[in-house]
Amino acid sequence: MMNKNLVIAVDGHSSCGKSSFAKSIAKKYGLIYIDSGAMYRAVTLYGIEKGLFSAGNIHQNALIEALPSLSIRFTYNPSLSRYETWLNGRNVEENIRHIEVSARVSQVAKIREVRQQLVQMQRDIGKNKGIVMDGRDIGTVVFPQADLKIFMTASLEVRTGRRYKELIGKGEKVSREEVMENLRTRDQIDSTREESPLRQAPDALVLDNSFLTPGEQMEWLENILIEKGLA
């Protein structure tokens, strides 16, 4: 039986399946799942709805001033078997997944004050342990002492296909080329930003799931947990 007080950090590139993998881990082992990326998306959605973007740029000062008034939480919806994101008392799970948010979230996530605010929120949520959290800087910044750190990746082509299928399934009108360019741009911004860039923690285990099924990914995890004496 797995230790229920573990902290598992799952980092990696956009659309490589971090959230799906982390959710599966949480469900299988009875841990609390926290989608850190959804928190940045929620802040981005707030900026869009408040008209804080113009000419492709975010009005940073206005967004920073609004941060103390933002409340972000997660609830589990048993009827849909998923965790959902709430922003200031409103369920925004579907809204934050739109391509408009995806195109701007990296721009918001590189703002120092935004990252500082959300990192503190994430630490507060995880202070009692027993969580699995996915994002870009969980194993390097948020929980550098995590019991298990995983760095996920997949080829750009594979990630594009997954994201494109997801968006089309939701009825969004996007081209495959648009999705690929969005992912390429987010990779570049996430990896080169000054504040908490996307990078692999020295002690993180790499999982390239380009050609792995969900079941094979879980089998990989189970073997790791056994090897490390965590299960």
Is 65's pLDDT higher than 90?
A: yes
Q: How confident is the model at residue 3, as a pLDDT?
A: 67
Q: How confident is the model at residue 5, as a pLDDT?
A: 83
Q: Is residue 197 part of a domain?
A: yes
**Neighbour-count burial for 170-179, b at 16+ CB within 10 Å, e otherwise:** eeeebeeeeb
Q: Which helix (H) or strand (E) holds 74?
A: strand 72-77
Cα 104 from chain centroid?
14
Which of 2, 63, 65, 9 is CA-nearest to residue 207? Answer: 9
pLDDT tens by residue, 169-200: 989 889 999 999 999 998 998 899 888 889 99
Chain-wide mean pLDDT for the chain?
92
Query: Rounded distance, CA 211 to CA 116, Å?
Result: 35
Q: Is residue 19 part of a domain?
A: yes
Q: Is residue 217 part of a domain?
A: yes
Count of domains observed in the chain: 1
pLDDT tens by residue, 1-16: 666 789 999 999 989 9
What is the greatest pairwise CA distance in the chain? Answer: 53
Q: How confident is the model at residue 193, as a pLDDT?
A: 87
Q: Is residue 60 part of a domain?
A: yes
The range of the structural domain enclosing residue 163 comes to 7-227
| In the chain, % of residues over pLDDT 70 | 99
Which of 141, 143, 135 is CA-nearest to residue 7? Answer: 143
The owner of tokens 């019991």 is 147
| In the chain, % of residues over pLDDT 90 | 72
Q: Is residue 170 part of a domain?
A: yes
**Phi, psi values for residue 187, rounded to 5°:** -60, -45
Tokens of 100: 């408009």
Q: Is residue 2 part of a domain?
A: no
**Phi, psi values for residue 54, rounded to 5°:** -150, 135
Strands 82-87 and 90-91: antiparallel
User: Averaged over 101-124, what is the pLDDT?
Assistant: 92
Q: Is residue 123 part of a domain?
A: yes
For residue 105, the domain's CATH number is: 3.40.50.300
Q: How confident is the model at residue 52, as a pLDDT?
A: 95
pLDDT tens by residue, 204-230: 999 999 999 999 999 999 999 999 998
User: Averaged over 67-71, what is the pLDDT?
Assistant: 95
Q: Is residue 33 part of a domain?
A: yes
Q: How confident is the model at residue 164, as a pLDDT?
A: 95
pLDDT tens by residue, 130-162: 999 999 899 999 999 999 999 999 999 999 999
Which of 90, 74, 70, 78 is CA-nearest to residue 36? Answer: 74
Q: How confident is the model at residue 56, as a pLDDT?
A: 78
